[in-house]
């Protein structure tokens, strides 16, 4: 699944793959259901995911992402570095 791949820094480092706009659009339905069909929550989370795909905004820190490659607990890494994005951290679990 495209969302799982985007949220896994180790996988992105080991197997660089372009996640297309079409793949993200197909993931929207699943994400909407995951967010209990809350459109506002889904749109905020999807905005973060598109930034994550493109390494923009809060996800543009290369050093931080490199550190994830050497971290054994990715869930803890997400919580420690991006705790203000609760839904995204929950999605990573």
- Cβ distance 48 to 88 under 8 Å? yes
Check pLDDT > 80 for residue 1.
no
Q: Where are the domains of the chain?
A: 2-92
Helix 74-82 and helix 62-69, axial crossing angle in degrees, nearest 10: 160
Q: How far is residue 16's CA from residue 19's CA, in Å, rounded to a whole number?
A: 9
C-alpha closest to that of 55 among 27, 63, 89: 63
Q: What is the arithmetic mean of pLDDT over 24-32?
A: 90
The mean pLDDT value for 23-35 works out to 91
What is the structure's pLDDT at 80? 84
- Over the stretch 34-80, which tens digit does the pLDDT of each residue have? 999 999 999 999 999 989 888 899 889 889 888 888 887 877 888 88
What gap in Å lies between CA 44 and CA 57, rounded to an integer? Answer: 14
The whole-model pTM stands at 0.81
Q: CB within 8 A of 14, min separation 6: which ones?
A: none
SS3 61: coil
Residue 93 has pLDDT above 80, yes or no: no
Residue 86: the pLDDT is 86
Q: What is the pLDDT of residue 32?
A: 95
């Amino acid at each position: 699944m495209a969302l799982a791949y985007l949220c896994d820094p180790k996988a992105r480092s080991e197997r660089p793959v372009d996640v297309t706009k079409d793949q993200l659009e197909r993931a929207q339905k699943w994400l909407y259901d995951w967010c209990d069909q809350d459109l506002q929550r889904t749109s905020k989370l999807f905005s973060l995911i598109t930034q994550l795909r493109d390494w923009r905004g809060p996800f543009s820190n290369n050093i931080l992402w490199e550190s994830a490659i050497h971290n054994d607990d990715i869930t803890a890494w997400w919580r420690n570095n991006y705790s203000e994005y609760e839904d995204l951290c929950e999605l990573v679990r």
